[in-house]
Chains A and B, each alone.
Chain A
Amino acid sequence: ETGVTQTPRHLVMGMTNKKSLKCEQHLGHNAMYWYKQSAKKPLELMFVYNFKEQTENNSVPSRFSPECPNSSHLFLHLHTLQPEDSALYLCASSRGLAEITDTQYFGPGTRLTVL
């Protein structure tokens, strides 16, 4: 266990559904991240939050909507997704953002399948 939990672990949804992914870290970290891991691509950074403020949005389509109500929780709201959005979505946290990046601790991921 890394101290980062994600729910659900598996999710199957239709293209018209709305669902949310949840991430929680118990490490007292201030920075949280969403990554997308597809089978044929490198791990892709999607969003970065530092002290609840979004600092990075890597050209992610608006059908993905992040929310960070506090430093311990991070959500990824999904709506009208496409089949190509099927992937493993990983959450990570780190102590903070600095010139030398702190170690990122990853959650187990949510395996998303869009039908």
Chain B
Amino acid sequence: GQQVMQIPQYQHVQEGEDFTTYCNSSTTLSNIQWYKQRPGGHPVFLIQLVKSGEVKKQKRLTFQFGEAKKNSSLHITATQTTDVGTYFCAGLLAGGGADGLTFGKGTHLIIQP
């Protein structure tokens, strides 16, 4: 079945450092979504990427969708303590309908002041 791998599983950074999480799919995706889950909270939608090679920015966050639509990344510039949480990618299989997304395991971002 479709797999969505996400690395790293954990990332410790000093406040102010950059952070990147990577998402790779075994099959071509129709789109990919990113979610953030704060400790004790529930996943909150961040963004959706649809086009091959697409790049979108939200303030300090930069999202990329690979040319082959099999991988994606989320990059945070100059992390702040409010960025703490788990970042999930979720992919939709191309041509496979839309009954649901396949989520990666998430990357836990830990920030040291």
Answer yes or no: are A and B bound together in one complex: yes
Contact with B along A74-115 (1 / 0, CB 8 A): 000000000000000010000001111101111111000000
Cα–Cα distance between A90 and B45 once the two chains are bound (Å): 14
A105 and B45 contact, CB distance less than 8 A = yes
The verdict on B50 contacting chain A, using a C-beta distance below 8 Å, is: yes
Cα–Cα distance between A44 and B44 once the two chains are bound (Å): 16
Cα–Cα distance between A108 and B42 once the two chains are bound (Å): 5
Contact with B along A57-75 (1 / 0, CB 8 A): 0100000000000000000
Size bin of chain A's contact surface: 20 to 34
The residue that B101 contacts in the complex, of A99, A101, A105, A107, with Cβ under 8 A, is: A101
Cα–Cα distance between A97 and B43 once the two chains are bound (Å): 20
Cα–Cα distance between A44 and B106 once the two chains are bound (Å): 12
User: How many Å from the CB of B87 to the closest CB on chain A?
Assistant: 12
The verdict on A12 contacting chain B, using a C-beta distance below 8 Å, is: no
Residue from B35, B92, B97, B98 whose CB has the most chain A CB atoms within 10 Å: B98
Known A-B contacts A42-B4, A103-B33; A48 and B42 likewise in contact (beta carbons under 8 Å): no
The verdict on B113 contacting chain A, using a C-beta distance below 8 Å, is: no
Would you mind naming 24 contact pairs between A and B with Cβ atoms under 8 Å apart?
A33-B100, A41-B105, A42-B4, A42-B106, A45-B99, A45-B102, A56-B99, A56-B100, A90-B42, A90-B43, A97-B98, A100-B30, A100-B31, A101-B30, A101-B92, A101-B101, A104-B33, A104-B101, A106-B44, A106-B45, A107-B42, A108-B41, A108-B42, A109-B42
